[in-house]
């Protein structure tokens, strides 16, 4: 099997090309959004399918179009908007706490990882999403979908928690391009959702199968 660097470059090239024809379109992928819209989307996307969030996101933004308006929302109003997404009590509390924390900061989003992660409801993944999508930094959107692809293509993780796993964290960064990082992260998420699926991955039609460790391991066993 070729070196990890070669295989990372191969995956990057193939997925960038694949994305041109297979990109999913979601309202939070617009270039015109600010930090408020992007952060709200990432909070809603936690443990919820993108298609489900997509059906509710525009009306939520219309009703609460800014940190300021969200900070002033009545809890029962917000809960009513979030109910169709599930986890609505927790999400509502998180969004209100976050909006109030932003209000105390004069609605200015912090710039460093440490201060972003200190905001209510913001863990490593959302901090990465903010650093990548708002500030253009080279950070992976390492969720269960990206983790699954990385683990199958390169090597198995060492730890259960992907936030601390050295294999996932290292390869998650290694595959990132130098430019258009946001789009590449979306390509990985879309590819993991459409091809390298959790159940029944489409290995027979996968464009990166020749360098996929898991696929080749299974071939050798046959």
Cβ 185 to ligand SF4 shortest distance, Å: 17
Cβ 136 to ligand SF4 shortest distance, Å: 28
Determine the distance from the C-alpha atom of residue 145 to the mean position of all C-alpha atoms in its chain, rounded to a whole number.
Answer: 9
Q: Which lies closer to ligand SF4 via its Cβ, residue 63 or residue 197?
A: 197
Torsion of CA 127, 128, 130, 131, to 10 degrees: 110
Question: Closest by alpha carbon to 152, among 190, 209, 220, 193?
Answer: 209
Q: Which lies closer to ligand SF4 via its Cβ, residue 24 or residue 197?
A: 197
Q: Which lies closer to ligand SF4 via its Cβ, residue 134 or residue 192?
A: 192
Judged by DSSP in three states, 46 sits in coil
**Given the rule CB under 6 A, which residues bind ligand SF4?**
149, 152-153, 195-196, 201-203, 206, 208-209, 212, 214-215
**Residue partners of 142: CB distance under 8 A and separation at least 6:** 125, 128, 150, 162, 168, 169, 172
User: Does residue 84 contact residue 56 with C-beta atoms inside 8 Å?
Assistant: yes
Cβ 30 to ligand SF4 shortest distance, Å: 29
Cβ 202 to ligand SF4 shortest distance, Å: 6
The whole-angstrom separation of Cα 133 and Cα 216 is 34
Instruction: List the structure tokens of 114.
Output: 């440490």
Q: Which lies closer to ligand SF4 via its Cβ, residue 165 or residue 214?
A: 214
Cβ 114 to ligand SF4 shortest distance, Å: 34
Q: Which lies closer to ligand SF4 via its Cβ, residue 122 or residue 149?
A: 149
């Amino acid at each position: 099997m070729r070196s990890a660097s070669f295989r990372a470059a191969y995956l990057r090239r193939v997925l960038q090309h694949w994305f041109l024809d297979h990109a999913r379109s979601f309202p939070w992928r617009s270039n015109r959004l600010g930090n408020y819209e992007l952060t709200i989307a990432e909070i809603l996307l936690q443990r919820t399918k993108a298609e489900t969030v997509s059906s509710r996101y525009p009306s939520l933004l219309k009703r609460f179009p800014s940190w300021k308006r969200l900070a002033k929302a009545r809890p029962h109003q917000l809960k009513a908007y979030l109910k169709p997404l599930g986890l609505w009590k927790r999400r509502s509390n998180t969004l209100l706490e976050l909006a109030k924390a932003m209000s105390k900061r004069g609605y200015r989003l912090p710039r460093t990882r440490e201060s972003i992660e200190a905001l209510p409801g913001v863990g490593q993944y959302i901090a990465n999403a903010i650093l990548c999508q708002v500030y253009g930094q080279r950070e992976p959107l390492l969720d269960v979908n990206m983790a699954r692809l990385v683990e199958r293509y390169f090597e198995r993780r060492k730890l259960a928690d992907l936030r601390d796993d050295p294999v996932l964290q290292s390869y998650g960064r290694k595959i990132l391009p130098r430019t258009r990082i946001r789009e590449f992260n979306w390509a990985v998420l879309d590819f993991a959702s459409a091809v390298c699926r959790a159940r029944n991955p489409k290995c027979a039609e996968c464009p990166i199968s020749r360098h996929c460790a898991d696929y080749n391991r299974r071939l050798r066993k046959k």
